[in-house]
Amino acid sequence: MGLPNAVEAIKEAGLAWNSLMTSVEMERNESSSKRGEPDPPIILHYNVRLHGDKITEDAVIVQNTWTLARDWGEEERCPSPDPDKNKKVDELDQCNKMVGKDDNRVFTASRHSNGSRKSPVVPEGSKLRKYFPFKQGYLSVATLRVGAEGIQMTVDGKHITSFTFRETLEPWLVSEVRISGDIKLVSVVASGLPTSEDLEHIIDLEALISQPLPPRKPLELFIGVFSTANNFKRRMAVRRTWMQYAAVRSGAVAVRFFVGLHKNQMVNEELWNEARTYGDIQLMPFVDYYGLITWKTIAICIFGTEVVSAKFVMKTDDDAFVRVDEVLASLNRTNVTRGLLYGLINSDSRPHRNSDSKWYISPEEWPKETYPPWAHGPGYVVSRDIAKAVYKRHKKGRLKMFKLEDVAMGIWISDMKKNGLEVKYEKEERIYNEGCKDGYVVAHYQGPREMMCLWQKLQEGKRANCCGE
């Protein structure tokens, strides 16, 4: 699970970019024809087999992925023929242990005269029914949800299956959902797919457009936001909330989204139009994979020191709410302008050696037992000299690439420290990497609705109070 093959990633980026540029040129020539990618990958094939298959006569759910290059992957079955391999995904079972077990609820249990319960009474000649979430002739409400480690399926409010993301098949590559098979669709609601708003219906458009940045413009703080092509709604939530801070609107702070390309041409067209409209997207020359996000960190350092001239450079995510005013105040209180790493510092963490983990690191990638100090990715700040050194080392080919971008920054800073840089690790306990707590400086895992709620509370003078409590 190392970095995807560089040649393959560059080839994919070239194809996606050429496709996008062809589309732009066609638009200029007033051509309306649109082409999607032939044979797009299947991020999750969720196959409900009510009547079993070649392996079993019982109902079964089969999960798998498919790509043109690799064909079908290794299928995951629920119930599994080997229950001992029922691993956890986002702390949830890959297959709910109830699936395929005898469903005792369908029969009435009798009692002894002393009040004790007897075993379920099975009518003579009948077969004990096994629990399965989907039943022929019955309505069900099913929800597919994207988690941190995989995709979860809930049926009628009960968790049924989990499916771990497979390498190079991240959730942000999804551009459409298709439904077929033994399930008859009555209605469907889809959210999180790559859709944009009609510009004619955005009444506050002028307030959301970022002003062009003159070359080498002096800034107090540059904020680079990790985002992916699909996450239009998240970017809009950021534009309408913490990008409206006075420091951002006045130009003392600049914010840019760093977004890789998508394999689907139509998604890239949407992204291109969004970038032209709002002026705050920095397109990256590769297709977005989790293993490549460290390149975005380098790009943020380059932008913050070479495109603009920022005193401090911050990295955050598009589902993080950043109190820009409090970040600036905290940086001012530290009174440190060189050798600074500000954030939720982790000084004693170990590599994940479980190969099933999203954050798995092999001994070849990092042989030591612990990492040097690093700051959690939802929000950390480095001083200009560190960001500049990252750029210079990258330019000279002396930067160790590491797929965990926040840990990578810690590794780079540790190397700089060995070479004589005096480093100040400023720990900020109010940066929450797993949600929100009152008094936050950065709150992570906030959806568009939570973002708007947090902003409204701040505008109403309710301080930094969380929502949904």
Give pLDDT tens digits along the chain (469 positions).
Answer: 334 444 455 455 556 656 655 655 554 454 333 444 456 778 788 888 888 888 888 889 999 888 777 788 888 999 988 877 788 888 889 999 899 887 655 444 444 445 544 455 555 555 567 899 888 888 888 888 887 778 888 998 899 999 888 766 767 667 667 666 677 777 777 665 555 666 655 667 888 888 888 888 999 999 999 999 989 999 999 999 999 999 999 999 999 999 999 888 888 988 999 999 999 999 998 888 888 899 999 999 999 999 999 999 999 999 999 999 999 999 999 999 999 999 999 998 999 888 777 778 999 999 999 999 999 999 999 999 999 999 999 999 999 999 899 999 999 999 999 999 999 999 999 999 999 999 999 999 999 999 999 999 999 887 899 987 5
Report pLDDT for 5.
Answer: 44
Separation of alpha carbons 371 and 363, rounded Å: 12
CA–CA distance from 124 to each of 56, 110, 128, 355, 357 (Å)? 25, 15, 10, 49, 48
User: Six-digit token pair at 143?
Assistant: 């929800």
pTM score above 0.85:
no
> What are all long-range contacts of 235-239, with beta carbons under 8 Å and residues at least 24 apart?
235/274, 235/281, 235/318, 236/197, 236/208, 236/448, 237/447, 237/448, 237/451, 237/452, 238/318, 238/451, 239/208, 239/278, 239/280
Report CA Rg, the chain.
25
Three-state DSSP state, 77: strand
Cα–Cα distance for residue pair 289/155, rounded to 1 Å: 30
Output the pLDDT for position 359.
79
Q: Which two tokens stand for residue 407?
A: 């840990």
3-state secondary structure string across 343-356: EEEECCCCCECCCC
Distance (Å, rounded) from C-alpha 32 to C-alpha 14?
A: 23
Q: By C-alpha distance, which of 38, 41, 36, 37 is closest to 71?
A: 41
Domains identified in the chain and CATH numbers? 44-105+128-173 (no CATH), 199-459 (3.90.550)
* pLDDT of the residue at 281: 96
